[in-house]
Amino acid sequence: MKFILVASILGFLAALVGSPQAAISIDPSDPNILYTGRWDSSNPSQPWSYWIGSSIIVEFEGVGIEASMGAGDSGRPDYLRVIVDDDLANSMKIPVPLTATTFTLASGLTDTAHKIEIIKETDIGRWTLYSLGLNDGDSVVPPSPRPAHKIAFFGDSNLAGYSLESEQNESGDELRGSHFGYAGVASRILDAEYQNISRSGATVSSIHGEYDLVEYGSDTPIWDFSQFPADVVVVNAGANDVGRPIHKIKEDYHAFLDDLRTTHPGAHIMLYNSWGWSYGEPANFIHEVIAERNDSNMSWAVFPWIFEQWHGCEYDHAGMAGILADHLTSTLGWSQKPRDVMSGFGKNGNVANGSFEEVAPFGGYGWRYYTDPGVSRVYDPAGAHGGDFHLRLSSGASSHQPNPASDGETFTLVLWLRGGQNGDEVDVTMDFRDQEMWTTPLQTETEAISLTTGWEQYSMTATAPVGAANPVFHTRVTFTAGEGAIVDIDDVGMSSPTGIPVSGPLPTVGRLSASPNPFNPSINIEFRLPEAGFVLLNVYDVSGRRVATITEGHYQKGIFSKRWNGRNFYGQEVGSGTYFARIEAGKFSETRKMVLIR
């Protein structure tokens, strides 16, 4: 996979550079070019941008388009992403050399209306646009309306998308990105344009010192906030402050929030931090900072940090984007566009990408580590247990996947396994860990399984400990191939705490029920599945807003029971009133009214 990817990028680049000059040159000041993010246009014919997430969008009638661009004097090439006609999955990331160079961004298109979008992926130097070029007879046309919302992000290396495209925390320039980081993903879900003022190593204080700069390291020019009147401001900084006294970190948050309120008087401002790594994480007390503001247009949210690395890969970012989007939908009523393949890290007890089919467009797979020797995702439509792909581990190699967990919860892992030879062995481990990263698991259970050469289903159940010194924060599933073994793995699912099938005859028709009803404080939701498949069970309020996700994942045929504790996505108790449980499971869907009386 790696070799094919590299070869295709090189082929693309060869086609990009050195193409003939187009006949029509479009000046960057053309009013039909739409600029988003943070730009310096003091010379409108040579606008430049430093911060990531800045982009241009051009719509044109014609068969192709080229651009003259350069990375300026940083000494290293910047990386840009090029998207033609909104085709995200086939977009290309290109390095931009220091001097002005002409790139063919699209060619050989049908002679109709097209759209090109170029996004700055790295914060290495300036991206300067010198000109656009079209073929004779082609023309740029007025742009479509801008997205409905604007979001300004301020953060550190994780938000800057460091090692986004690696599962092993490699932060090479070519592995960074913004558009498939959570700033980009959440903005697309919410129909927003964004700017991403984020930098590696930033603390709350240092990003405060840089938040109004057009270019990192230079006080001139200063950004004019009226050029991007953000509806929402997201601050994701503080991970680099861990270890400092909490009252000092709080002081820094307050100083930053004071200035953000001045520069964004009407915006909803939120702190968004990772809940993990360490007990000194700001996520543990940002709710106190927001409470101290007494500003009804401020909020906070946290996302679980259950991967053991400094930065999230694409799959993790998809999960962070989902939580942020849900928060803004819940807080501001913003609607969401359908989410695509990037559904994020394990949520509600599901094992992200357990069938190994669902691949984020640029290499995030959910399971780590695909790039280790002996670990591969095998494309084999005829041989995979389900779909086109399965995971293969060979002699001693391992892969793992983290998921949220709490004290006393029971998880059942169900998966399909096959050996290269009869008797090949695999160790399947389910462990439970606290919130402190890089520490010994609180509890570890391993089963050694001897395989045959045919696909067979296996299951394993483990219960998280209760009363450990620190509470259980997450669980991790690990597969390790035995010495000399070849192990194929597919269709991995993990039932969340109460998702274990109830005994009894298998149902022949789908059914959803909820009891007791009315309820307080929790309600039992039972669903019967006449066939195996993907299940989505959500709770909505009377205005149709999603309040909580009860479960989301692959289920076998059977009767299942889940409890809703009357809390929303953020663990907050919802008020008395009418709510609806809605299940979608293949052809079966049903809605049940539930009345909460506090």
Does 355 bind Ca ion (CB under 5 A)? Our answer is: yes
3-state secondary structure labels for all residues of 516-547? CCCECCCEEEEEEECCCEEEEEEEEECCCCEE
23 is written with which tokens? 């006949």
387 binds Ca ion (CB under 5 A): yes
Rank residues 183 and 384 by Cβ distance to Ca ion and give the closer one.
Answer: 384
Q: Does 403 bind Ca ion (CB under 5 A)?
A: no
Nearer to Ca ion by C-beta: 390 or 592? 390
Distance of closest approach, residue 386 Cβ to Ca ion, in angstroms: 4
Report, in Å, the least distance between residue 20 CB and Ca ion. Answer: 45
Q: Which H helix or E strand runs over 323?
A: helix 314-332
CA 70-72-77 angle, to 5 degrees, is: 70
Say whether residue 378 binds Ca ion (CB under 5 A): no
Distance CA 311, CA 170 (A): 9
Q: Which residue is nearest to Ca ion (CB)?
A: 387
C-alpha span between 441 and 217 (Å, rounded):
42
Query: Hey, what are 353's tokens?
Result: 């990408």
Nearest residue (CB) to Ca ion, 274 versus 355: 355
Q: Do you know the residue count of the chain?
A: 598
Residue 77 beta carbon to Ca ion: minimum distance, rounded to whole angstroms: 37
103 vs 389, which CB is nearer to Ca ion?
389
Task: Give the shortest CB-416-to-Ca ion separation in angstroms.
Answer: 9
CA distances to 144, 188, 209, 583 from 184, in Å: 19, 6, 24, 29
Query: Least Å distance between CB 358 and Ca ion?
Result: 9
Q: Which is nearer to Ca ion, 133 or 354 (CB)?
A: 354
Told to check if 384 binds Ca ion by CB under 5 A, we report: yes
State the minimum distance, in angstroms, from the CB of residue 365 to Ca ion. 12
Mention every residue, 6+ apart, whose C-beta is less than 8 A from residue 144.
59, 115
- Find the shortest distance in angstroms from Cβ 151 to Ca ion: 35
- Residue 17 and residue 90 in contact, taking contact as beta carbons nearer than 8 Å: no
Site string for Ca ion, 302-341 (x = CB under 5 A): ----------------------------------------
507 three-class SS: coil
Note whether 352 binds Ca ion by CB under 5 A. no
Question: Which residue stretch of 284-292, 358-366, 389-397, 439-447 sits at the interface with Ca ion (rule: CB under 5 A)?
Answer: 389-397
Number of residues lying near Ca ion (CB under 5 A): 8
Assess 157 for contact with Ca ion (CB under 5 A).
Answer: no
Residue number, 47 or 354, with CB nearest to Ca ion: 354
In 3-state terms, what secondary structure has residue 324? helix
- Measured CA to CA, the distance from residue 460 to residue 447 in angstroms comes to 8
Residues of span 456-495 touching Ca ion by CB under 5 A: 490
CA max distance for the chain: 74
**Looking up tokens 């000092």, which residue turns up?**
248
H or E segment and range at residue 198: strand 192-198
Q: Which C-beta is closer to Ca ion: that of 155 or that of 346? A: 346
* CA–CA gap between residue 179 and residue 160 (Å, rounded): 10
Q: Identify the residue among 147, 361, 374, 386 touching Ca ion (CB under 5 A).
A: 386
| Binding segment toward Ca ion, per CB under 5 A, in 334-342, 377-385, 460-468, 498-506 | 377-385
Least distance between Ca ion and beta carbon 354 (Å):
9
Burial 66-92 (b: 16+ CB within 10 A, else e): bbbbbbbeeeebbbbbbbbeeebeebe
Interacting residue ranges for Ca ion, rule: CB under 5 A: 355-356, 384, 386-387, 389-390, 490
